[in-house]
Structure 1
Amino acid sequence: MPELPEVEVVRRGLERWVTGRNITEVQVLDPRSVRRHLLGSEDFRGQLIGARIDSVVRRGKFLWLPLTDAQENQNQDKPKEVALMAHLGMSGQLLMQEPTRQDEKHLRVRLSLDGEGPAELRFVDQRIFGGLFVTSLVPTSDGLPGGDQGETTPSEALIAAEAAHIARDPLDPNFSLTAFKAALKRRKTGLKRALLDQSLLSGIGNIYADEALWASKLHYARATETLRTVGVERLIDNARRVMLDALAAGGTSFDSLYVNVNGSSGYFERSLRVYGRQDKPCYRCEEEGVLTLIRRDSFMNRSSYFCPRCQPRPRNGHW
């Protein structure tokens, strides 16, 4: 499943090409990819054709395109109430292509756009775990814009309904470290469980949780209530840095299924410091002249990678 940096790579790519453009035609080639639009393919088409894409917004791993109906474009005071939601799943890709470009093997939905730039936004999905659907926008709980929308003028305090339950992520301009520390203090759990809890902090998945914990020299089972304020700040700083590094590399890809909107895979997997490195030397220990092998523990039906020397197991922790 793509994590925050991968989805942000897609958001940035889309922002450049679709903002301010109108949807002139919609072709649903595989109804399974719009199955989350409960009123069906024809209603999906009807809600999109003629709509203008106002921005591309992300909170955590959620991505949506706020829409203004073409008939309402003259009334700029009318708030946006719907958005095109994109769920990438395991293999979903949003690609900007010219109509002359041959259709991808697993092309599921095609949106035609007016204006300058590639004329088609294509949703390609090999495994069909992802999909597109039109959703409602609802007021945010804190009265601030719903998520990160890059260079676009900040939108109203609205958020896609499906993303309203999750907390802000560390790359969100309106992320509050104070609010996160207060929420963490109330939650007695292990650090990695807290990082993966989308109601506390969104966007961090298994890979970047392990990378942030390694950078902070913290064991994944460390009890949250034992961590001082400076430790929380260091952990969030490292999580933010790791994800920004991944963004700079174009995201993390382990196969050809994840690409950005131009079809380019990310290369951050080459820079991972701990994730997936079981029985390989810890880079930090190696720099100190000590040979310590990375270990892997089973954790929440997945894996946790850590250095037993840099990240010692706590005597009293939450598992």
Structure 2
Amino acid sequence: MPELPEVEVVRRGVARWVVGRTVEEAQVLDPRSVRRHEAGPAHFAHELSGAVVADAVRRGKFLWLPLTGADGADPQEALLVHLGMSGQLLVQDAGRPDEKHLRVRLRLGPRPGVPDELRFVDQRIFGGMVLDPLVPTADAAPGGLGATGLPLVPARAAHIGRDPLDPAFDADAVHARLRRRRTGLKRALLDQSLVSGIGNIYADEALWRARLHWARPTDTLRRPETVRLLDAVRAVMEQALAAGGTSFDSLYVNVNGESGWFARSLDAYGRAGRACRRCAEEGRGTLIVREQFMNRSSYRCPACQRTPRNARF
């Protein structure tokens, strides 16, 4: 699954190339990619035609484009995009041949020197697009990263928490909620209603940087530890953004079709049996271990992420 940095890379590309442009025509080439739009593909295409893309906003892994009419009134709905396992948003010239797994095409109003189509390509069809009404945010802050001020969020994304890159993210509130829970730390990090956008890769990386075990009981966390962990989450995501995301698969690309290379900089995830870089710098030869966690894998250093006596696996 693409994680937050991958989706943010896509959001930034859409913000650069698409925001402010009119959708002159929408074509649904595969109805399965708009299956969440209950009114059907014809209604989806009709509603999009003539709409102006006002913004490109992200909260966690949810990406949406608030839409206005020609009158410029405040948006009432948004084009919500979920990339799923293989979804791509590509900005392409109209004359470029269609991709093999092209599902939805948006023809955009002309802008000199800029490609005039936004294409949704999805090999596995776990992602999709839907037109969703915008509702007020619970905290009266802008909906997510990239919002220009309106405190609105798509109804389907209103239940998820803010992510650490969001200007309205509240670390104190997250710490208080962590302390009220009785669960393991990584399990809590993956709960999108608490903190959104943290997936398996970045959870392992942040826990390694913060020197915390994934099974640490959340109700034992001290505030400095929570701050250290959230700072680590933010740092690893910003580093991944600078590298264009983490691409283990050619399916995860930006709007220009380019893959990220942060995978080369991972310190814990996928490095089982290899030396912990921090331990090596400190003169120890500890190897990263792989452990089972919720039907997936967790990676940690046994020396600098010691198992707590009261671990919650």
Would the TM-score normalized by the shorter structure come out above 0.5?
A: yes
> Which of the numbers 140, 163, 180 marks the counterpart of 1:186?
180
CA offset digits 1:225-255 (Å, max 9, x no partner): 2221111000000000000000000000111
Distance (whole Å) between structure 2 residues aligned to residue 6 and residue 245 of structure 1: 12
The count of aligned residue pairs is 311
- Is structure 2 residue 86 aligned with structure 1 residue 91? yes
Residue 166 of structure 1: how far off its partner (Å): 0.8
Distance (whole Å) between structure 2 residues aligned to residue 187 and residue 61 of structure 1: 24
- Is structure 2 residue 102 aligned with structure 1 residue 112? no
One-letter amino acid of the counterpart of residue 307, structure 1: C
SS at 2:125 equivalent: coil
SS at 1:262 equivalent: coil
Structure 1 unaligned residues grouped into runs of 5+: none
TM-score by length of 1: 0.96
One-letter amino acid of the counterpart of residue 233, structure 2: A
One-letter amino acid of the counterpart of residue 272, structure 2: Q
- Is structure 2 residue 204 aligned with structure 1 residue 207? no
Residue 119 of structure 1: how far off its partner (Å): 0.4
Matches within 5 A, 1:1-319: 1-70=1-70, 72-73=71-72, 76=73, 79-116=74-111, 117-149=114-146, 154-319=148-313
SS at 2:107 equivalent: strand
Distance (whole Å) between structure 2 residues aligned to residue 44 and residue 227 of structure 1: 47
SS at 1:310 equivalent: coil
Say which is worse superposed, 110-119 or 48-57, in terms of deviation: 110-119
CA offset digits 1:13-54 (Å, max 9, x no partner): 000011111000011111111111111110000110000000
Distance (whole Å) between structure 1 residues aligned to residue 195 and residue 41 of structure 2: 34
One-letter amino acid of the counterpart of residue 112, structure 1: R
CA offset digits 1:102-136 (Å, max 9, x no partner): 11111111000003121000001111111111111
Identity %: 64
Distance (whole Å) between structure 2 residues aligned to residue 29 and residue 200 of structure 1: 36
TM-score by length of 2: 0.97
RMSD between aligned alpha carbons? 1.0
Distance (whole Å) between structure 2 residues aligned to residue 166 and residue 128 of structure 1: 23
Say which is worse superposed, 182-191 or 129-138, in terms of deviation: 182-191
Distance (whole Å) between structure 2 residues aligned to residue 121 and residue 192 of structure 1: 36
Residue 271 of structure 1: how far off its partner (Å): 0.4
CA contact (8 A) 2:204 2:268 kept: yes
Distance (whole Å) between structure 1 residues aligned to residue 12 and residue 201 of structure 2: 21
Distance (whole Å) between structure 2 residues aligned to residue 67 and residue 185 of structure 1: 39
Residue 155 of structure 1: how far off its partner (Å): 3.0
Structure 2 unaligned residues grouped into runs of 5+: none
Distance (whole Å) between structure 2 residues aligned to residue 87 and residue 226 of structure 1: 35
